[in-house]
């Protein structure tokens, strides 16, 4: 005969013997031993437990030996925990192996979570934080419902933000389509002679007069700076685009330098500065004639420049031969990239004799001394 008063399985048997009319529900759940318990365990009745307990073989506190009732609560200011399982049984249950399962409802729930303003959270770098919160919530055993709610909230916010981002992008397109030449042209239009881009930005921003005002010791009221916001924005955007397209020194380029650059970039068109031509037209026929002559001159100059610019700016083509004799067959033309590739592969291991195609009858140089990388 077992020591225990009423065991789980035996209890069923005993009860069945005593009263067949008892429903199985009452027998199977922990409620079957309701009367047998000393503590306030009646409060822990949980619907879920009814089904689970049959799986897990819930341990009854009575089966645990050596429990003692509470004695004193405090000993010299230190709280004493009674040597029994009453507190633990309030918050969960043990199975027959001694594993402890916390009840869902007694999960600690921070009240501040209810008060979070999710809209403000969204403004922060949210992706990492979101994952953390949702993930953390999931990890807490049993807190699945709340984690799902949060996920749904987060997804909604992500959708909203995607819509916002799409709206912002189209606004930047107008400038993206311009070439570097067109961008430079636009910048030149906004500059005054003798100015750099940085100085022009200062002028348009309305900051140029301050130093002079200080020197004058405030005798004369400083002139009102003309802050041309539209031009300022446009110049800033253009300069930014140019930096992005590779012209890193744009802010230090002067009006003259940019005009010169434009002339060299536009090979066919005679480069006429708009301001000069504008002045010529206004002042009458005589200056128109000058304007024509000027166009011709500039046209010639730009053509000459092109021929020389091609030396350093256009693609360089090479031809080579295997031996430095007049009879050797010449192969080519090839681009610098091709030549460099062959050199890298070791195809020209002993060096071939090469020269640039545009140099005509010049001598052939040994490929070992030439760095084709410089021409790419």
Partner 1 sequence: MSYMLPHLHNGWQVDQAILSEEDRVLVIRFGHDWDPTCMKMDEVLYSIAEKVKNFAVIYLVDITEVPDFNKMYELYDPCTAMFFFRNKHIMIDLGTGNNNKINWIIEDKQEMIDIVETVYRGARKGRGLVVSPKDYSTKYRY
Residues that bind partner 1 (CB under 8 A): 249, 305, 308-309, 311-312, 359, 362-363, 365-366, 369-371, 373-375
DSSP bridge partners of 94: 100
Instruction: For the CB of residue 135, give the shortest distance to partner 1 in the complex, in Å.
Output: 48
Instruction: For the CB of residue 243, give the shortest distance to partner 1 in the complex, in Å.
Output: 17
CA 146 vs. chain centroid, Å, equals 29
DSSP letter assigned to residue 35? G
Instruction: For the CB of residue 201, give the shortest distance to partner 1 in the complex, in Å.
Output: 20
DSSP letter assigned to residue 93? E
Instruction: For the CB of residue 148, give the shortest distance to partner 1 in the complex, in Å.
Output: 57
Peptide bond into 344 cis (omega under 30): no
Between the alpha carbon of residue 94 and those of residues 30, 35, 45, 136, 215, the distances in Å are 12, 19, 14, 25, 87
Q: How far apart are CA 205 and CA 211, in angstroms?
A: 15
Taking alpha carbons only, the member of 198, 196, 194, 185 closest to residue 263 is 185
Q: How far apart are CA 27 and CA 34, in angstroms?
A: 10
Largest CA distance in the chain: 133
Instruction: For the CB of residue 327, give the shortest distance to partner 1 in the complex, in Å.
Output: 22
Q: How far apart are CA 185 and CA 238, in angstroms?
A: 10
Taking the least distance from each CB to partner 1, the nearer of 81 and 362 is: 362
Taking the least distance from each CB to partner 1, the nearer of 145 and 249 is: 249
Taking the least distance from each CB to partner 1, the nearer of 202 and 301 is: 301
Instruction: For the CB of residue 181, give the shortest distance to partner 1 in the complex, in Å.
Output: 18
* Residues 195/253, Cβ–Cβ less than 8 Å: no
DSSP bridge partners of 58: 95
Q: How far apart are CA 100 and CA 298, in angstroms?
A: 93
Q: How far apart are CA 353 and CA 319, in angstroms?
A: 8
Neighbours of 168 (CB within 10 A): 8
Instruction: For the CB of residue 366, give the shortest distance to partner 1 in the complex, in Å.
Output: 7
Q: How far apart are CA 162 and CA 73, in angstroms?
A: 59
Instruction: For the CB of residue 319, give the shortest distance to partner 1 in the complex, in Å.
Output: 14
Taking the least distance from each CB to partner 1, the nearer of 139 and 369 is: 369
Q: How far apart are CA 358 and CA 362, in angstroms?
A: 9
Taking the least distance from each CB to partner 1, the nearer of 288 and 371 is: 371
Taking the least distance from each CB to partner 1, the nearer of 23 and 362 is: 362
């Amino acid at each position: 005969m077992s020591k225990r008063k009423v065991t789980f399985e035996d209890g069923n048997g005993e009860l069945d013997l005593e009263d067949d009319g008892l429903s199985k529900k009452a027998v199977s759940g922990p409620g079957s031993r309701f009367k047998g318990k000393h503590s306030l365990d009646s409060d822990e009745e949980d619907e879920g437990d009814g089904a689970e307990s049959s799986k897990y073989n819930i341990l009854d506190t009575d089966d645990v030996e050596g429990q003692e009732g509470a004695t004193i609560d405090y000993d010299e200011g230190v709280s004493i925990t009674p040597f029994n399982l009453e507190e633990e049984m309030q918050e969960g249950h043990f199975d027959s192996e001694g594993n402890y399962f916390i009840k869902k409802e007694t999960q600690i729930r921070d009240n501040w979570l209810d008060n979070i303003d999710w809209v403000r959270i969204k403004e922060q770098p949210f992706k990492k934080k979101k994952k953390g919160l949702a993930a953390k919530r999931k990890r807490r055993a049993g807190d699945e419902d709340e984690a799902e709610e949060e996920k749904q909230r987060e997804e909604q916010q992500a959708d909203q933000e995607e819509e916002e981002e799409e709206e912002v992008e189209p606004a930047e397109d107008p400038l993206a389509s311009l070439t570097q030449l067109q961008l430079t042209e636009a910048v030149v239009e906004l500059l005054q002679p003798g100015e750099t881009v940085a100085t022009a930005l200062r002028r348009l921003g309305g900051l140029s007069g301050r130093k002079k005002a200080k020197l004058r010791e405030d005798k004369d009221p400083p002139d009102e700076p003309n802050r041309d916001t539209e031009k300022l924005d446009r110049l800033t955007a253009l300069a930014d685009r140019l930096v992005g397209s590779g012209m890193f020194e744009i802010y230090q380029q002067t009006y003259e330098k940019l005009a010169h650059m434009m002339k060299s970039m536009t090979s066919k068109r005679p480069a006429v500065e708009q301001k000069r031509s504008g002045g010529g037209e206004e002042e009458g026929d005589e200056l128109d004639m000058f304007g024509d002559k000027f166009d011709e001159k500039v046209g010639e100059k730009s053509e000459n420049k092109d021929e020389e610019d091609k030396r350093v700016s256009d693609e360089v083509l090479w031809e080579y031969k295997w031996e430095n004799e007049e009879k050797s067959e010449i192969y080519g033309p090839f681009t610098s990239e091709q030549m460099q590739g062959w050199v890298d592969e070791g195809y020209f291991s002993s060096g071939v004799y090469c020269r640039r195609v545009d140099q005509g009858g010049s001598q052939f140089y040994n490929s070992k001394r030439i760095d084709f990388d410089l021409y790419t």
